[in-house]
Amino acid sequence: MKDYSKYLAIPYRERGRDFNGCDCWGLVRLFLKNEFGIELDSYTEYSVANIEEVKQVAEIEKGNWVRVEAPEPGDVVEIQILKRDYHVGVIPHPGYVLHVCNERFSEMNLLTHPLLKRNVKGFWRHKG
């Protein structure tokens, strides 16, 4: 199993896009760029605190992704957290998700974790 520990304990930072701090999209973006060479838009002009702006980003991005049933490393996980849609993480290893939530640090969890399992809304693979 590849060591992705460098992506753990990155502090949450709204509009963060590097190892000094990331929001959930920033962490997905950082991981996919470094590990898969996939460049994603940064969307730093949007605030994750504004759900309407987050919905706009989700609609813009939708055309770049295809929904998959069996996730593989590099796929994005759409998660509903605290009745908020559009939280995302990324699959680093089969059965795991790497993500960061507001006011926390990035972490890797099993997809079967009870809090995640019941809140996963879908898996997405980048078309590029």
Q: Give the number of domains in the chain.
A: 1
Would strands 120-126 and 76-81 be described as parallel, antiparallel, or unpaired?
antiparallel
Say if 54 falls within a structural domain: yes
Q: Is residue 117 part of a domain?
A: yes
Mean pLDDT value across residues 15-28: 96
Task: Tell me the pLDDT tens digit for each residue of 63-81.
Answer: 999 999 999 999 999 998 7
Better-predicted residue by pLDDT, 110 or 85: 110
Q: Give φ, ψ of 126 to 5 degrees.
A: -70, 135
Task: List the structure tokens of 25.
Answer: 């999209």
Specify which of 3-17, 54-68, 109-123 reaches the highest per-range mean pLDDT: 3-17
1 part of a folded domain: no
DSSP 3-state of 117: helix
Q: 15: which DSSP letter?
A: T
Residue 9 DSSP label: T
111 part of a folded domain: yes
Token pair of 106, please? 């990035």
Give me the CATH number covering residue 61: 3.90.1720.10
Q: pTM for this one?
A: 0.93
Q: Which helix (H) or strand (E) holds 99?
A: strand 96-99
How many percent of the chain have pLDDT more than 70? 97
What gap in Å lies between CA 118 and CA 113, rounded to an integer? Answer: 9
**Per-residue pLDDT, 126:** 97
Dmax (CA) for the chain in angstroms is 38
- Domain that residue 49 falls in: 7-126
Residue 17 lies in a domain: yes
